Amino acid sequence: MSLAMKVPTVGESITEVTIAQWLKKDGDFVEMDEVVAELESDKATFELPAEAAGILRIKAEEGDTLEIGAVICEIDTDAGSNGAPATESESKVESSSDTTKEPAATGEIKEMVVPEVGESITEVTIAEWVKQDGDFVALDEVIAEIESDKATFELPAEGSGILRIVAQQGDTLEIGALICKIELTDVPVTKAEGTQSNTSSTPVTAEVSSKETYASGHPSPAAAKILSEKGIDSSQVKGTGVDGRITKEDALNAKQETAVQNAPQSEAQSIEPAAAQVGFNRNQRRKKLSSLRKTVAKRLVAVKNETAMLTTFNEVNMKPIMDLRKKYKEPFKEKHGVGLGFMSFFTKACCVALQEWEAVNAMIDGDEVVYNDFCDISIAVSAPKGLVVPVIRNAESLDFKGIESEVIRLATKARDNKLSIEEMTGGTFTITNGGVFGSMMSTPIINAPQSAILGMHNIVERPVVENGEIVVRPMMYVALSYDHRIIDGRESVSFLVRVKQLLEDPTRLLIGV
């Protein structure tokens, strides 16, 4: 049977996608949920997983633009991994004589060391071994995930053979340190064949049912990782994928409370039996700090200790911006394909004020002050692994559409853990929006080596006095934390007042006054 795969729905306003790259070739055997291609829209890049196991038949080439629902490829589910149609007897798993066939070892050993993953990165942590010790791995097959204080990277095999793990999951290694060895073989084996070569020597004859398969209730690799991080048992999650497979979306939607409800009763009773007997939950869980979280902690403490940080506040009447958005929100989205949010107004206002008060856009480098004639605005984003701060380059030269497009692109990549090192380094000024979580007021910490950060907060209707009358207006508190070593009170307060002026009269942003 041939299964036609169509371009999936990837967003509310996205009507077409472009094939960025085929990760598998026409005629390759693919496993279910194995990523076969990357698709990109005007907002983000998406992975296309195989909907079944079989032979891939490509129908559209790289660079082609397809509408949502168009056929992108087909999978011949009746074909074996060698491309030949499977007979009725071969629809079962291969006999033991095939499954136990091992490629012949050449006697050579390939030592894999921690690769260089960034200019300023000196060590990495092994986040997860995708393959186990003794598994057969194919050349360029991902065998592990390593993470630094800035991003997560995949580690591909540098040869085909038997994997011998040297460093364990959770270990922190310096760049160039030995991470694993591969006992090279002289038989090139595909990823699907490699999996079969490591199965037990006992013949497997269980026939796969059309309703219940090995995929039923089994998480994909991405889903398994998410469930592990949440501490949720996969048996408690209902899969919505093919044959009941637990997809990445299922894992993301799974609630933490599932794990708490299903925790062993003995764990609670071991701490306080009396409390447990009356229904109190006394469970405790420990989780190792990630490299990202440890580095963030070090830097935040360093900023508090090494800078003369001070925060000044003001409030902004958001009614003019809200009225403007209400009037032009739909026409803006129809024309540009992106929504008109508050972030573009704040970014444009900050860029104007930064060019007028250059010290706020500067930073200390040893005994010198570095002044920037451009505005690289860092946007704080809450990602699954922690807070990340991707950068909008030359924001002063972008219009509202350009800023909104960059915000969506960077935020999407951050939440998918796909930000590159280059996209998170640099930046001359940071904007953080605690208002999306309901924060009324805060004192944000400077994003070193920058010298200032603007904090946005929630919008609350409050009584204010205008022209001698008390009126109700949607008000927002804004906070500017700054390094008092190079920014004086006059500059910090004047900067924030200028931002307030531009936001309360947004037409100034259009005519440049």
Q: What is the mean pLDDT of each run of 10 residues along the chain (513 residues)?
A: 82 73 88 85 72 89 85 82 48 43 70 81 85 88 83 84 89 89 70 42 38 60 72 78 71 61 48 59 82 77 90 96 92 90 93 95 93 94 81 94 93 85 89 90 92 95 93 96 94 96 90 74
Mark whether 240 and 125 lie in a shared domain: no
Mark whether 123 and 224 lie in a shared domain: no
Choosing from 92, 121, 138, the residue where a domain stops is 92
- In angstroms, the CA 74 to CA 349 distance is 50
The side-by-side arrangement of strands in the sheet containing 161-165 is 105-113, 178-185, 161-165, 136-137
Mark whether 119 and 248 lie in a shared domain: no
Residue 205 lies in a domain: no
Both structure tokens of 289: 């700090």
Q: pTM for this structure?
A: 0.53
Q: Which of 186, 233, 323, 488 is catalytic?
A: 488
Mark whether 146 and 193 lie in a shared domain: yes
- In angstroms, the CA 124 to CA 365 distance is 27
Tell me, yes or no, if 505 is annotated catalytic.
Answer: no
Q: What does the DSSP assignment read for 114-166?
A: PPP--TT--EEEEEEESS-TT-EE-TT-EEEEEE-SS-EEEEE-SSSEEEEE-
Residue 171 confidence (pLDDT): 85
Q: Which domain holds residue 186?
A: 98-197
CATH code of residue 52: 2.40.50.100
Residue 412 lies in a domain: yes
Residue 261 lies in a domain: yes
The total number of structural domains in the chain stands at: 4
Please return the burial class of 350, using the count of CB atoms within 10 Å of its CB with bins 0-12, 13-18 and 19+. buried
Count Cβ atoms below 10 Å from residue 264 Cβ, excluding itself: 9
Question: Is there a contact between 499 and 491 (Cβ–Cβ < 8 Å)?
Answer: no
Mark whether 114 and 192 lie in a shared domain: yes
Residue 48 lies in a domain: yes
- In angstroms, the CA 6 to CA 71 distance is 4
Mark whether 34 and 110 lie in a shared domain: no
Question: Is there a contact between 354 and 334 (Cβ–Cβ < 8 Å)?
Answer: no
Tell me, yes or no, if 488 is annotated catalytic.
Answer: yes
Count Cβ atoms below 10 Å from residue 447 Cβ, excluding itself: 21
CATH code of residue 278: 4.10.320.10
- In angstroms, the CA 497 to CA 493 distance is 6
Residue 203 lies in a domain: no
Q: Which of 140, 171, 233, 484 is catalytic?
A: 484
Residue 209 lies in a domain: no
Mark whether 33 and 178 lie in a shared domain: no
Choosing from 197, 227, 247, the residue where a domain stops is 197
Choosing from 57, 92, 127, the residue where a domain stops is 92
Mark whether 297 and 284 lie in a shared domain: no
CATH code of residue 380: 3.30.559.10
